[in-house]
C-alpha cells in the first residue's frame, strides 16, 4: 500500500508501527458554528480511509479531536448570550447529525480539549523546562520557534521567509515574531484554568499535540486534516511534540484537498459559503458523499450545481444496474476486486476505484439480459465493493424514487399511468403512450424503459 506523505512530498510504502494496527489522528472541528462543505470533505475522506484500512484487515484506532475552547467559541458564545458549554454541546450534536447523514462513521475516540487541560499544562511545562518555551510578561507562554531545528519541514518553508508571513502574529511580549502561543493568560470574565503561569487557557496548536500523544503515544502512524492546516497548525504540532517527547511525532502526514465553489475559494465574504445542512436540504446525502469521493482525496473539488447533477446521474447508473436483482454471494471474476484493491492501495485512489465499479455495473447490465442467473453474484460484488466507500447502501427504488412524496401524484397513481402507457403501446396507440410519458415528464417523473419493464425516477433528485 502506497500513501502520499506530505512531510516527504512523495508516495511511500505504508508500514504501520504495529503490523496489524493503525493509529490515526485527524484534526477535528472547532465547534462554534455548523460544519461547512469543506469540513465534509475531510470527514468523508478519512472515513473512507478508515473503512478501507479495516476492510484490508487492519485494526484502526481512529482518533479525531473536538476543539471546545477557542477564541472563536468565546466570541460566538458572547454574541449569542449563551454559556460556552451550551454552545459547544449544541454544535457537537449538529456535527454528529450532519456526518451521520453523510454516512460518516464515528471515530473510535473524540477527545475534547477541555478534558485534557492537565495534559496540555504538563506538556507546556516540559517545553518550558527544556528551554523550548518561555513565560512572557503578559502572562502568556510562547514557543521558541528558532530553538527547534526542524521547524518548517512539513510546509517546506524557510524561517527567514516566514517573518513576513501574513499569519505570523506580532506581539511585544514575544522574543521573536515567529514564536507562537502555548498558553493564553485569561482576560477578565473568560473561562480559564489554573496553571503555573496563572489563570488561562490552552493555545490552539498545543491542544492537538497533547490529545494525540495521550491517545496514541509519542509516535503514531497517520496524522490527517484539511489543506489549510499544514501551516501553521501541523507545523507547530511537530515542533511542540518532538521537542517535548524527543521522539518522531508522526510517520505519515495526510491532507485532503480544498473545496471550491464555482471554481472560487469558499468564503463567507464572497457569499459562496455553504453549511452541510444547507447542502443536504437540496441534495440527497449519498449524492454529496459521491461527489466528495469521485475525485482523489488530495485533489481540489469544485462544488457546483452541475457537479452535483453529474454525481446524481452517476449514482443512478449504479442503482439502475442493481434494480430488479436480488444480490447473492456467488462466483465473480476476480479481476474486479483485484483492480479495486490496486486502485485503493495506490494512495486511496477512489476515482480509479469507481471506474472499476462502473465496469462491474456495465457487466451487471449485460448479464441481466444475457445470463440472468449470474446477475445476483455481480450485484452482491458491486454492493460489497461500493460499501467499502460507504456507497450503495440503499434499496435501488428508494434512491431512484427519492422525493416522490413531494410530487402531485402518489406512487400508485404513477404506476397506474405507467401501466396505461404499456397497454397503449401494446395496442400500438403510440400517441397516447407518448402523451403519458410527456405528462409524467412535466411533473418531473422520468420513465426508463428496459427489457424488464419500465421504471421511473425523480428528475434532479
Binding site for Zn(2+): which residues?
27, 208, 233, 237
Point out the annotated binding site for ATP. 268
What is the phi/psi pair of residue 163, to 5°? -60, -30
Other CB atoms within a 10 A radius of the CB of residue 43 amount to 27
How far from 18 is each of 22, 29, 214, 442, CA to CA, in Å? 7, 28, 18, 59
- DSSP SS3 for 69: coil
Task: Give the whole-angstrom CA distance, residue 123 versus residue 245.
Answer: 9
Contacts of 207 (CB under 8 A, 6+ apart): 65, 67, 113, 116, 120
Point out the annotated binding site. 27, 208, 233, 237, 268
Task: Give the whole-angstrom CA distance, residue 418 versus residue 454.
Answer: 7
Give the CA angle between residues 396, 398, 403 to the nearest 5°.
Answer: 135
Task: Give the whole-angstrom CA distance, residue 296 versus residue 145.
Answer: 34
Residue with cell 499535540: 209
Task: Give the whole-angstrom CA distance, residue 214 versus residue 211.
Answer: 5
Task: Give the whole-angstrom CA distance, residue 93 versus residue 261.
Answer: 26
- DSSP SS3 for 162: helix
CB 297 within 8 A of CB 341: no
Task: Give the whole-angstrom CA distance, residue 92 versus residue 87.
Answer: 9
Q: Is 75 left (phi over 0), alpha (psi -120 to 50) or beta?
A: alpha
Helix (H) or strand (E) holding 96: helix 84-101
CB 360 within 8 A of CB 381: yes
What is the phi/psi pair of residue 122, to 5°? -65, -40
Amino acid at each position: 500500500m502506497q500513501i502520499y506523505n506530505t512531510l516527504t512530498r512523495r508516495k511511500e510504502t505504508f508500514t504501520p508501527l504495529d503490523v496489524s494496527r493503525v493509529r490515526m489522528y485527524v484534526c477535528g472541528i472547532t465547534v462554534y458554528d455548523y460544519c461547512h462543505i469543506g469540513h465534509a470533505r475531510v470527514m468523508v475522506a478519512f472515513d473512507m480511509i478508515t473503512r478501507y484500512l479495516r476492510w484490508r484487515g487492519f485494526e484502526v484506532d481512529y482518533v479525531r479531536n473536538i476543539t471546545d475552547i477557542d477564541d472563536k467559541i468565546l466570541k460566538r458564545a458572547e454574541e449569542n448570550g449563551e454559556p460556552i458549554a451550551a454552545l459547544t454541546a449544541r454544535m457537537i450534536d449538529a456535527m454528529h447529525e450532519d456526518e451521520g447523514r453523510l454516512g460518516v462513521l464515528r471515530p473510535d475516540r473524540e477527545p475534547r480539549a477541555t478534558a485534557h487541560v492537565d495534559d496540555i499544562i504538563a506538556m507546556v511545562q516540559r517545553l518550558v523546562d527544556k528551554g523550548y518555551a518561555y513565560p512572557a510578561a503578559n502572562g502568556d507562554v510562547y514557543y521558541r520557534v528558532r530553538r527547534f531545528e526542524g521547524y518548517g519541514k512539513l510546509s517546506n518553508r524557510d524561517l527567514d521567509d516566514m517573518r513576513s508571513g501574513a499569519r505570523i502574529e506580532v506581539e511585544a511580549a514575544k522574543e521573536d515574531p515567529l514564536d507562537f502561543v502555548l498558553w493564553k493568560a485569561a482576560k477578565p470574565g473568560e473561562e480559564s484554568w489554573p496553571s503555573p503561569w496563572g489563570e488561562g487557557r490552552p493555545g490552539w496548536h498545543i491542544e492537538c499535540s497533547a490529545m494525540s500523544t495521550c491517545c496514541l503515544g509519542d509516535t503514531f502512524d497517520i496524522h490527517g486534516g484539511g489543506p489549510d492546516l499544514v501551516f501553521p497548525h501541523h507545523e507547530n504540532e511537530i515542533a511542540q511534540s518532538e521537542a517535548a517527547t524527543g521522539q518522531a511525532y508522526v510517520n505519515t502526514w495526510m491532507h485532503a484537498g480544498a473545496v471550491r465553489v464555482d471554481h472560487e475559494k469558499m468564503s463567507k465574504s464572497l457569499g459562496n459559503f455553504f453549511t452541510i445542512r444547507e447542502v443536504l436540504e437540496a441534495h440527497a446525502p449519498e449524492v454529496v458523499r459521491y461527489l466528495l469521493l469521485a475525485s482523489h482525496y488530495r485533489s481540489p473539488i469544485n462544488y457546483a450545481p452541475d457537479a452535483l447533477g453529474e454525481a446524481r446521474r452517476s449514482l443512478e447508473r449504479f442503482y439502475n444496474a442493481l434494480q430488479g436483482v436480488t444480490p447473492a454471494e456467488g462466483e465473480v471474476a476476480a479481476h474486479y476486486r483485484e483492480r479495486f484493491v490496486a486502485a485503493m492501495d495506490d494512495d486511496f485512489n477512489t476515482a480509479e476505484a469507481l471506474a472499476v465499479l462502473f465496469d462491474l455495473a456495465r457487466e451487471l447490465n449485460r448479464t441481466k439480459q444475457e445470463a440472468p442467473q449470474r446477475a445476483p453474484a455481480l450485484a452482491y460484488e458491486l454492493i460489497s465493493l461500493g460499501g467499502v466507500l460507504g456507497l450503495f447502501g440503499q434499496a435501488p427504488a428508494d434512491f431512484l424514487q427519492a422525493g416522490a412524496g413531494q410530487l402531485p401524484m402518489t406512487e400508485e397513481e404513477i404506476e397506474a399511468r405507467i401501466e396505461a402507457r404499456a397497454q397503449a403501446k401494446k395496442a400500438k396507440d403510440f400517441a397516447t403512450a407518448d402523451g403519458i410519458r410527456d405528462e409524467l415528464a412535466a411533473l418531473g417523473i422520468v420513465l426508463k424503459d428496459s427489457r424488464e419493464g419500465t421504471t421511473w425516477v425523480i428528475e434532479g433528485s
